[in-house]
Amino acid sequence: MTLYFKNRQIVVPGELLAEGGYKPGEGTFREGNCIYSSVVGLVEAKGKVVQVVAFEGAYIPKVGDVVIGKVIDVKMTSWRIDINSPYQATMHPVNIFERHMDPLKEDLRRYFDVGDTLVAKIMAFDRTRAPLLTTKERGLGKLQGGYLVNILPTKIPRLIGRKGSMINMIKKETGCQIVIGQNGVVWVSGKSFEDEERVIKAIRQIEREAHTSGLTDRVRELIHK
């Protein structure tokens, strides 16, 4: 049982992290009795689990994630949705309304058309098929107006902060409405363009400096400048 790193040290792929009875978490892999990192990121041990929080990476859908997507195609009985991931999502009317729809009597475009932006939850995904989306919960559905900001999906946890500390601070300080998609898309809508611009600037700074300390204070400073 040996750990070969200091907490929150930057590691590169293939670096030996631990030996013995540890468990490999995100961003790591096990070979024999040893755990190695598989990405560039910050390493930390949580109990017996060793994990590396990656700096970069694509969004891989996870059941239960709230994502922001764009409708790219309307088919007979479903929508194709781009969720900023290697895997395009599908959405069926059943998972929006409490009923089936007859494509002969109703046009799906009445509800969502190509180009529409929506907040949805990932209902099912097993990597062999396209992820399925649902909007059957409060707060999900079509988005109107506002700005969309794309950031690295790996920086989303930092943007939210511990128990939402960062995002709540930004909301409070600017009075903007913000919806965060786990897939790295953020929707911002405020009373004035200046407010929205301040939020976007703050998000960009968080994306760049996610791995540094004292970030919340610097972001607050930036918003008030």
Partner 1 sequence: MEDFHFPSQIKLLNEDNLRLDGRRLDELRPIKLEVGVLARADGSAYIEQGKSKILAAVYGPRELHPRHLAQPDEALLQCIYRMATFSVEERKSPAPSRRETELSKVITEALAPAVFLKYYPRASIDVYIQVIQADGGTRCSSITAASLALADAGIPLRDLVSAVAAGKIDGKIALDLSDLEDKNGQADLPVAIMPRKGLTTLLQMDGIMTREEFIEAYELAVKGCRKIYEMQREILIQKYIDIQGEASEEADEQENGG
- Residue 66's DSSP bridge partners are 121
C-alpha 67: how far from chain center? 7
In 10 A of CB 131, how many CB atoms?
26
Nearer to partner 1, 10 or 160 (CB): 10
Using CB under 8 A as the binding rule, the residues of this chain from 8 to 67 that contact partner 1 are 10, 12-14, 16, 27, 29, 36, 38-40, 54-58, 60
Helix, strand and coil in the chain, % to nearest 5: 25, 30, 45
Should residue 93 be labelled a site residue for partner 1 when binding is judged by CB under 8 A? no
Would you say 87 and 45 are in contact if contact means Cβ atoms under 8 Å apart? no
Nearer to partner 1, 12 or 63 (CB): 12
DSSP H helices in the chain: 156-160, 165-174, 193-208, 215-224
Distance CA 165, CA 203 (A): 14
Nearer to partner 1, 156 or 179 (CB): 156
Nearer to partner 1, 40 or 124 (CB): 40
Should residue 211 be labelled a site residue for partner 1 when binding is judged by CB under 8 A? yes
Would you say 90 and 130 are in contact if contact means Cβ atoms under 8 Å apart? yes
Nearer to partner 1, 51 or 135 (CB): 51
Should residue 101 be labelled a site residue for partner 1 when binding is judged by CB under 8 A? no
Shortest CB 104 distance to partner 1, Å: 29
Q: Which residues bind partner 1 (CB under 8 A)?
A: 10, 12-14, 16, 27, 29, 36, 38-40, 54-58, 60, 86-88, 127-128, 154, 208-209, 211-215, 217-218, 221
